[in-house]
Amino acid sequence: MKSRPPVGAHLVPSMVSRGEMSAEEYIASMFERIGRLDSSIHAYLQLDRDGALSKARALDHRARRGERLGKLAGMGVAVKDIICVRSLQATCGSKILEGFVPPYSATAIQRIEREDGIVLGKTNLDEFGMGNTTQNSAFGPTLNPWDLARVPGGSSGGSAAAVAAGMASVALGSDTGGSIRCPASFCSVVGLKPTYGRVSRYGLIPYANSLEQIGPMGREAEGVSLLFEAIAGHDPQDATSSPEPVRPLSAGGIEGLRVGRIKEFFGEGAQPKVKEKVMDGCERLETLGAKAGETSIASLPYSLAVYYIIAMAEASSNLSRYDGVRYGLSVEKGAADWNTAFAKTRSEGFGEEVKRRILLGTFVLSAGYYEAYYVRAQKVRELLTREFALALKKFDVLLGPTMPVLPPKVGEKVTPLEDYLIDINTVAANLTGLPAISIPCGFVDGLPVGMQLIAPRFREDLLLKVAIAFGKEQGLESPPLGEAA
């Protein structure tokens, strides 16, 4: 059996449909890689080997009978363990949900399965999506395939590491403040955070509802684009999903595309070598025909504070349901009343970072503080949205480094505040609801650097077009996993 999935993910469906490749063999090769590599990377929390292989067999059978297969036929999809897949445990990386098996699949999963995509398993994450390292998981950290001493980014670190290491064709992540783009950047893969309302959130276990979206990740933009088109579109089960039609990818290059570098994204906090690499990437876009310029978003310095206030406020409410009464962990021992049982369950079930955010969120919503924090944060959010809309009149897409830093070392001691600061470039897209993508942009000291692009609402097609063009120019490198590439 081959050690590496033989083809680009996006080529799999047509090859499987035409009978040129066996879906079963392809999926089996992926589980073979997982078996060989994941003990050191720990991208997956749970595998569905039997389910995946039997679906693959069924696809091969249908292909032989000449049946028409779906657009994702045979693609192996890794799913962040915060997205519900019927009859697979959903933990959110938390002890409090251990053993919880949802009786329903997220709309995104239903759509993937309708297009004959195959769920391989559930991937690791920072507990409830709260973090940017995938070290805050109750089930142990995920490591970066490019350097096992480094973090893969987060919170969708398991999904990013899985696709980077060829342990999945593509993956689903979720992005509340950068949770798709950060690990995409650190693991040198493509990660798209769609426009708010573009992909149904039904079945996404919420961290901060008004900010987050499910989105696709993959080594190449073509595969990401296929997965995006499968999951995007209106869903009556999500009142915030948009009826706006999904724009298909248009043919042609990026000649004349107006690219605006956001001055603040290249600020003092960013590592110089990272900034240089992204400037370099911008120049390469120009060689492909784009026209680059610079712009400024005055309110950007406030975006982190605004983000953390809103995200924590919503989180404190979303996480109230984990009280041990109906599902998940329940610690009743020694509790004489339900209030004590709730407290014991939550004290034992949640990790430190989750507790910190619940406490801060509870505080900002409290009587007397609500106006000063939450209401004011929403006002700045509106201001930021207007400023971005204005900038996007002058430019087709806005550009900057996805992460201002290279992937940090595992176990590096940082304060929570220092940790929050590296989200400075990603949170704005969530606050404004704009679509944003992180594209591999080369390496500094052997470590991946990601370039972020932001587009107007519902213009994922623009981002994907740039990513495809840039990816062809950039070429594909594979992480050093002790094997021939």
Partner 1 sequence: MQTESGLKVKIGLEVHCQLTALRTKLFCTCSSDYRSSEPNEKICPVCFGLPGTLPVLNAKAVEYATMIALALNCTVANRSVFYRKNYFYPDLPKGFQISQYDKAGGVAIASGGEVEVGGKRVRITRIQLEEDPGKLTYEGTIDKSTYSLVDYNRAGIALVEIVTEPDIEDAREAKVFLEKLRSIIESLGVSNGELDGAMRCDANISLAGGARVEVKNISSFKEVEKALNYEILRQRTFSGNASSETRHWDERRSITIALRSKEEEQDYRYFPEPDLRPIVLEPAAIASVQRAMPEVVDARASRYANEFGLSKQLAKELAANKDLSAFFEECAKLGQGHQEMAGLIVGELSARPLPAAGALPPEDFAALVKMIETSAITRAQAKEALREGLRTGHRVVDVVKQKNLSAVVDERAIAALIDRVVAARPGALEEARGDKKSFSYLVGQVLKEEPKAQPGVVAKLLAQRLHGK
Residues with a catalytic annotation lie at: 80, 155, 179
Contact assessment for residue 253 and residue 290, using Cβ atoms and an 8 Å cutoff: no
Q: x/- site string to partner 1, residues 335 to 354, per CB under 8 A?
A: ---xx--x------------
Residue 369 one-letter amino acid: Y
Q: How far is the CB of 128 from partner 1 (least distance, A)?
A: 10
Q: x/- site string to partner 1, residues 174 to 203, per CB under 8 A?
A: ---------------------------xxx
Three-state DSSP at 60 gives helix
For residue 308, what are its two tokens? 């953390």
239 part of the interface to partner 1, by CB under 8 A: yes
Neighbour count for residue 44 (Cβ, 10 Å): 24
Minimal CA–CA distance to 420: which of 312, 306, 304, 270?
304
**How are beta strands 190-193 and 436-444 bridged, if at all?**
antiparallel
End-to-end Cα distance, the chain: 15
For residue 356, what are its two tokens? 């910190």
329 part of the interface to partner 1, by CB under 8 A: no
Q: How far is the CB of 212 from partner 1 (least distance, A)?
A: 10
233 part of the interface to partner 1, by CB under 8 A: no
For residue 220, what are its two tokens? 């190449």
Distance CA 306, CA 260 (A): 24
Instruction: Measure Cα distances from 207 to 87, 103, 158, 317 in Å.
Output: 22, 20, 17, 9
Distance CA 284, CA 193 (A): 23
Q: How far is the CB of 298 from partner 1 (least distance, A)?
A: 25
Q: How far is the CB of 365 from partner 1 (least distance, A)?
A: 4
Distance CA 96, CA 105 (A): 20
Of 1, 50, 103, 446, the residue at the interface with partner 1 (CB under 8 A) is 103
**How are beta strands 170-175 and 213-218 bridged, if at all?**
antiparallel
Task: Between 129 and 408, name the residue whose CB sits nearer to partner 1.
Answer: 129
236 part of the interface to partner 1, by CB under 8 A: yes
Q: x/- site string to partner 1, residues 363 to 382, per CB under 8 A?
A: --xxx--xx--xx-------
For residue 350, what are its two tokens? 């949640």
Interface region with partner 1, contact rule CB under 8 A, candidates 234-242, 262-270, 347-355, 462-470? 234-242
Interface region with partner 1, contact rule CB under 8 A, candidates 68-76, 255-263, 321-329, 386-394? 321-329
313 part of the interface to partner 1, by CB under 8 A: yes
Half-sphere exposure in the Cβ direction for 46 (13 Å, CA): 23
Distance CA 255, CA 484 (A): 37
148-177 positions binding partner 1, by CB under 8 A: none
Of 34, 92, 306, 455, the residue at the interface with partner 1 (CB under 8 A) is 92
Of 314, 387, 423, 461, the residue at the interface with partner 1 (CB under 8 A) is 314
Q: How far is the CB of 321 from partner 1 (least distance, A)?
A: 4
Task: Between 302 and 363, name the residue whose CB sits nearer to partner 1.
Answer: 363
Interface region with partner 1, contact rule CB under 8 A, candidates 84-92, 151-159, 269-277, 282-290? 84-92
Q: How far is the CB of 362 from partner 1 (least distance, A)?
A: 7
382-421 positions binding partner 1, by CB under 8 A: none
Minimal CA–CA distance to 136: which of 144, 127, 128?
127
Residue entry with tokens 């942009």: 441
Of 97, 190, 399, 437, the residue at the interface with partner 1 (CB under 8 A) is 97
Helices (H) and strands (E) in the chain, counts: 15, 11
231 part of the interface to partner 1, by CB under 8 A: no
Of 87, 240, 296, 347, the residue at the interface with partner 1 (CB under 8 A) is 240
Residue entry with tokens 């953390």: 308
325 part of the interface to partner 1, by CB under 8 A: yes
Task: Between 375 and 476, name the residue whose CB sits nearer to partner 1.
Answer: 375
307 part of the interface to partner 1, by CB under 8 A: no
Neighbour count for residue 258 (Cβ, 10 Å): 14
Contact assessment for residue 170 and residue 227, using Cβ atoms and an 8 Å cutoff: yes
Contact assessment for residue 125 and residue 156, using Cβ atoms and an 8 Å cutoff: yes
Q: Which residues bind partner 1 (CB under 8 A)?
A: 83-84, 90, 92, 97, 100, 102-104, 106, 201-206, 208-210, 236-240, 313-314, 316-317, 319-323, 325-327, 338-339, 342, 362, 365-367, 370-371, 374-375
